[in-house]
A and B are shown apart, each in its own frame.
Chain A
């Protein structure tokens, strides 16, 4: 058990990377505390699998150090790190039974046979595979196979962290939540560090205590689901998390108010101060959930034209137009939506400002 510390890690799959784009993983520092449940969230190709493989040792980083506790494991081969990994497609050894599959990592490490039996039976019990121990692994369903892959990590007594690389991709939707709950249980019971890579925000937000959002080889923000939702550090985080994503409106700043295409929106005093000091391109960001539609004008309200209403059953998504910019608003199912003109209410506590895509307040 140890915390995992990535120091100045960067990776490129090219032998002589030059341009910024040659790096699959831009330089980053990151600490994974012992016993945490983490998720790495990002679109395909953002470098999250590379980061995971660096931790497990399948990829040796071009630069930087990987520390487990105080020990430098950067050059240590995968088998000698106390890490297990579960892959997107279930990896099972076809010719073996479930028992043999689970025992395989221990047998390779020359653990005595009676100790193996004990561990395998424990893990099988935890994963509800006890009845299938004597069956051939090849004949099982995808979710059972994925449990076996996970079990091969759990049987090793020395494992400090289990890494998951989109493990639920091939699992039927109705079994996904079962397996995810199983993972939660295992995490609570075992106290292992779990790092879970996914591009599905629901999966990440329900599984993890802390989520790292990645894009284009960078970790943009690491925080609790609530932090990611309420105060995205980067416009990408705001856009990627939430459905629909955060609204971003290019704006200017003038005498204590943000100006959106000429419309003035007064800001909180402290936000106005930061906006005055900020350099770079300003954007105003607000979640559709925090906006509301009103019929009368007022303080911190802007006039918009209602363009479309999507009814999603328990709520509605209203697309409005604010001087040529689209702004989406999430309104309760029972609320009447004005037919043409309405006023958008921007609550001061949830209105964010971004300079060059970075949160300033």
Chain B
């Protein structure tokens, strides 16, 4: 009877288990299920083993989308992290201006993602959009619906505008957490502004910047709504990123290949997050004299 009392604790875990099952385990296993079968209709499923995986890995359109995706995420990190840190450094440390800056920074983060796409469609339209009209008035031919480079520039601008504030907010939080004594000691040690940044601020922001890099990598690698609304993956396939391609596959009812692809996609994100995490934990901690 004593044992029975102990076992009742499992009922406490049950709600969590049910939630995790429905939100993660069952969907994931469904995808795994699809990825190893060819399904023609109800009751007409055939086991195909790793065939879909092999097909996906040799799919050149997928290779193109993957390369595009890496280029996109790489540019996002290269632009947003330094820019966010710079904004955070330039922000005031106290007073009413802090609240003003925080509100202004948070604004892009509050707008629904598909609305962002729409805003930028209008903003860049050559006939009525502020940016489109201005650029054309300067004599620059700009049309993101026709020129692949223009489409990329627009998508990058939109992404940077949308998400740099998040990096800035995280970096700002990291900066504010540095005790005053560090700056005072640096003044006594005669450190230049660059030395203060390099040896105090940057190391102290390691934690928040790790989070910023992981978040921005994952989000940008999985990006869908904004470029889909803005360019629909075009012109041609020039802005067809991985998830846009994935949605094209699955809406064409190729559930098997799409599922195999989803799993590969998931593993890539996992692998890179792990790599970034390891790298950022260890950077600047090696012994050297």
B181 touches A89 (CB 8 A): yes
Residues B203 and A93 in contact, CB atoms below 8 Å apart: yes
Closest Cβ of chain A to B266, distance in Å, is 34
Tell whether, in the assembled complex, residue B285 and residue A97 are in contact, meaning their CB atoms are under 8 Å apart.
no
- Chain B residues with CB under 8 A of A95: 199, 203, 284-285
- Residue pair B190, A108 in contact (C-beta under 8 Å): yes
A84 touches B190 (CB 8 A): no
Contact of B185 (CB < 8 Å), options: A85, A99, A109, A134: A85
Is there contact, CB below 8 Å, between A105 and B203?
A: no
Interface size class of A (residues with CB under 8 A): 20 to 34
Q: How far is the CB of A136 from chain B (nearest CB, A)?
A: 6
Establish whether residues A100 and B191, one from each chain, have CB atoms under 8 Å apart when the complex forms: no
Residue of chain A at shortest CB distance from B202 = A95
Question: Which residues of A are found within 8 Å of B287, using beta-carbon distances?
Answer: 97, 134-136
Chain B positions 165-190 with a Cβ under 8 Å from a chain A Cβ: 179, 181-182, 184-185, 187-190
Per-residue contact bits, chain A 87-120, to B (CB 8 Å; 1 contact, 0 not): 1110101111101100011001100000000000
The answer to whether the Cβ of A152 comes within 8 Å of any Cβ in the partner chain is yes
Interface-facing stretch out of A31-39, A66-74, A75-83: A75-83
Q: Given A99-B289, A108-B195, A88 and B181 touching (CB < 8 A)?
A: yes
Q: Which residues of B contact A83 (CB under 8 A)?
A: 188
A226 to B41, CA, bound (A): 99
- Which A residues are in CB contact (< 8 Å) with B185? 85, 87, 91, 149, 152
The answer to whether A56 and B289 have CB atoms under 8 Å apart is no
B195 touches A136 (CB 8 A): no
Cβ < 8 Å to A, chain B residues 137-155: none
Q: Say whether B122 faces chain A, with CB atoms less than 8 Å apart.
A: no
Per DSSP, chain A at the interface is: mixed
B285 touches A152 (CB 8 A): no
Decide if A58 is an interface residue (CB 8 Å cutoff). Answer: yes
Distance from B94 Cβ to chain A, minimum over Cβ atoms (Å): 13
Select from chain B the residue with minimum beta-carbon distance to A133: B289
Residues on B with C-beta less than 8 A from A85 are 184-185, 188
Q: Which residues of A have CB within 8 Å of B187?
A: 57-58, 77-79
**Residues of chain A from 263 to 293 with CB closer than 8 A to chain B in the complex:** none
Interface residues of A in 27-66 (CB under 8 A from B): 53, 56-58
By a CB distance below 8 angstroms, the chain B residues around A100 are: 289
Q: Does B200 contact A (CB under 8 A)?
A: yes
* Closest chain B residue to A109, Cβ basis: B190
The chain B residue with its CB closest to the CB of A155 is B189
Rounded to whole Å, the gap between the CB of B192 and the closest CB of chain A is 7
List CB contacts (< 8 Å) of A149-180 with chain B: 149, 152-153
Binding site for B on A (CB under 8 A): 53, 56-58, 77-79, 83-85, 87-89, 91, 93-97, 99-100, 104-105, 108-109, 133-136, 138, 149, 152-153
Pairs A-B, 3 closest by C-beta atoms: A91-B185, A79-B190, A108-B190
Q: Using a CB–CB distance below 8 Å, which chain B residues touch chain A?
A: 179, 181-182, 184-185, 187-192, 195, 199-200, 203-204, 284-285, 287-289
